[in-house]
């Protein structure tokens, strides 16, 4: 179990156990945003035994990217009043046991996760439609060998640039590597946009009920890599994922597939990706994260991104919003909104039990 402790515990009276899977930078932001009347204990990846030891005396449990919350934990946490999941995935919370124990349960939407999912979908659509290349064509307004005519019902010059390779997400296979809150939000948006086969890969498959709700199917790496028309990297950084998407990995992708990355930048071998794009094995790539940030001038993807004739899009790690818009501290204050509502006798938001 890792964590960076609690803040001003002596001045606070309502105990909160904040369970997370995130690094210290995110932990610090969440602790800094805590209201002064709360004694927040932050722990990272605790074992079940550690949770059982910490729960006595806890009134509020915040669960972020963490594991199961079961009846045994509620039996030990006799003072529990609220279990708040940060995100929409609640399959591992025993809601029935919570109702029996009289513990409220809420699922708070994570705005940055939703924004990243929207950004990834934007990347997918832009690659499929070759948006950068076609925008450059239209902006050029050059001589295309056709006289310009005023358009009407029967007069128009459809695709006067004669470009090929314009695709769609419709009826494609979308593969999601790393499936947490962002992956779930992406699956909802892809599924709502068009009929598509959505595959996902993570260390442990979701329960069948969660898969059915999201209309997704689990796939091994050996299946998801060669079958995906769009392969979306949402993997976090770890020793096991460092450099995972290398030349061998990329060579196993379907010829003509699109690669999208909003996960850890260090998961991707950018030189190998540039080579796969130059030789035509991949039809395009869009990245929001990079091995070195800010992006270095010698990044091998930059020459491709600067060429209007290539289907390569780079954005400066803004999928979750700009610095002022994202406002970590503002967003993190929302983690405690329902706790304050309960203490003040106001209705809970996003309550599921």
pTM: 0.92
| Stronger pLDDT, 147 or 19, i.e. the higher one | 19
| Amino acid 10: pLDDT | 45
Q: Which residues contact 300 (CB under 8 A, 6 or more apart)?
A: 270, 271, 273, 274
Q: Please give the torsion angle defined by the CA atoms of residues 83, 85, 90 and 95, in that order, rounded to the nearest 10 degrees.
A: 10
The residues that bridge with 199 in the sheet, in sequence order, are 175, 217
In CATH terms, are 2-108+326-343 and 113-314 the same topology? yes
What is the average pLDDT across 216-240? 98
The CA-based angle 33-261-300, given to 5 degrees, is 115
| Stronger pLDDT, 141 or 41, i.e. the higher one | 41
User: Where exactly are the structural domains of the chain?
Assistant: 2-108+326-343, 113-314
CATH number at 113-314: 3.40.50.720
Q: Is the pLDDT of residue 91 over 50?
A: yes
What is the average pLDDT across 286-309? 98
Q: Which of 197, 194, 216 is nearest to 207 (CA)?
A: 216
Helix/strand/coil for 176? strand
Widest pairwise Cα distance in the chain: 79
Q: What are phi and psi of 221, to 5 degrees?
A: -60, -40
| Amino acid 81: pLDDT | 98
Residue 217 burial class via C-beta count within 10 angstroms: exposed 0-12, middle 13-18, buried 19 and up:
middle
Q: Is the pLDDT of residue 227 over 60?
A: yes
Q: Which residues contact 239 (CB under 8 A, 6 or more apart)?
A: none
What is the average pLDDT across 155-178? 92
Q: Is the pLDDT of residue 14 over 80?
A: yes
| Stronger pLDDT, 328 or 42, i.e. the higher one | 42
User: Cα(122)–Cα(144) distance, rounded to whole angstroms?
Assistant: 29
pLDDT-derived band at 330 (thresholds 50, 70, 90) equals low
User: Cα(14)–Cα(35) distance, rounded to whole angstroms?
Assistant: 10
Which region, left, alpha or beta, applies to residue 217 given φ > 0 means left and ψ of -120 to 50 means alpha? beta
User: Cα(350)–Cα(106) distance, rounded to whole angstroms?
Assistant: 5
Q: What percent of the chain shows pLDDT beyond 90?
A: 83
CA atoms within 13 A on the CB side of 81: 15
pLDDT digits (tens, 9 = 90+) for 49-66: 999 999 999 999 999 977
Helix/strand/coil for 119? helix
- The DSSP bridge pattern shows strands 2-5 and 38-44 to be antiparallel
What's the mean pLDDT when you consider all of the chain?
93
Q: Is the pLDDT of residue 159 over 70?
A: yes
pLDDT digits (tens, 9 = 90+) for 252-281: 999 999 999 999 999 999 999 999 999 999
Which region, left, alpha or beta, applies to residue 248 given φ > 0 means left and ψ of -120 to 50 means alpha? alpha
What is the average pLDDT across 28-52? 95
Q: Is the pLDDT of residue 3 over 70?
A: no
User: Cα(172)–Cα(121) distance, rounded to whole angstroms?
Assistant: 13
| Amino acid 280: pLDDT | 98
| Amino acid 6: pLDDT | 59
CATH superfamily to which 2-108+326-343 belongs: NAD(P)-binding Rossmann-like Domain (3.40.50.720)
What is the average pLDDT across 76-83? 98
The residues that bridge with 312 in the sheet, in sequence order, are 285
| Amino acid 9: pLDDT | 47
Which region, left, alpha or beta, applies to residue 73 given φ > 0 means left and ψ of -120 to 50 means alpha? alpha
pLDDT digits (tens, 9 = 90+) for 175-206: 999 999 999 999 999 999 878 999 999 999 99
pLDDT-derived band at 2 (thresholds 50, 70, 90) equals low
Q: Please give the torsion angle defined by the CA atoms of residues 59, 63, 69 and 71, in that order, rounded to the nearest 10 degrees.
A: 20
pLDDT-derived band at 329 (thresholds 50, 70, 90) equals low
Q: What percent of the chain shows pLDDT beyond 70?
A: 95
| Amino acid 11: pLDDT | 52
Q: Are 201 and 177 in contact (CB under 8 A)?
A: yes
Q: Measure Cα distances from 323 to 31, 303, 317 in Å.
A: 19, 27, 10
Helix/strand/coil for 352? coil
What is the average pLDDT across 275-302? 99
């Amino acid at each position: 179990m890792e964590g960076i402790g609690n803040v001003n515990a002596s001045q606070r009276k309502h105990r909160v156990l904040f369970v997370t899977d995130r690094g210290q930078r995110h932990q610090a932001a969440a602790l800094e945003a805590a209201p002064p009347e709360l004694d927040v204990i932050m722990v990272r990846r605790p074992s079940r035994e550690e949770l059982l030891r910490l729960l006595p005396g806890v009134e509020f449990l915040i669960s972020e990217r963490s594991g199961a919350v079961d009846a045994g934990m509620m039996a030990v946490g006799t003072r529990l009043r609220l279990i708040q999941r940060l995100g929409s995935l609640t399959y591992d919370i025993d809601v029935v046991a919570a109702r029996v124990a009289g513990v409220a349960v809420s699922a708070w939407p994570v705005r940055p996760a939703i924004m990243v999912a929207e950004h990834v979908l934007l990347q997918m659509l832009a690659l499929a439609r070759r948006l950068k290349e076609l925008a450059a064509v239209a902006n050029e307004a050059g001589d295309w060998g056709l006289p310009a005519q005023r358009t009407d019902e029967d007069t128009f010059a459809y695709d006067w640039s004669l470009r090929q390779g314009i695709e769609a997400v419709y009826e494609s296979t979308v593969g999601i590597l790393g499936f947490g809150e962002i992956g779930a939000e992406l699956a909802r948006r892809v599924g709502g946009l068009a009929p598509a086969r959505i595959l996902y890969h993570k260390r442990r498959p979701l329960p069948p009920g969660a898969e059915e709700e999201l209309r997704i199917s689990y796939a091994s790496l050996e299946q998801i890599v060669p079958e995906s028309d769009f392969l979306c990297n949402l993997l976090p950084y770890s020793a096991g994922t460092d450099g995972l998407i290398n030349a061998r990995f990329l060579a196993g992708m379907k010829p003509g597939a699109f690669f999208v990355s909003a996960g850890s930048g260090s998961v991707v071998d950018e030189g190998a990706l540039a080579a796969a794009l130059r030789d035509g094995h991949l039809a395009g790539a869009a990245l929001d994260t990079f091995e070195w940030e800010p992006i270095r001038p010698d990044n091998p993807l930059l020459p491709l991104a600067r060429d209007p004739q290539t289907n390569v899009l780079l954005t400066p790690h803004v999928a979750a919003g700009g610095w002022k818009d994202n406002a970590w501290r503002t967003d993190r204050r929302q983690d405690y909104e329902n706790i304050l509502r309960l203490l003040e006798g106001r209705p809970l938001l996003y309550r599921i039990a």
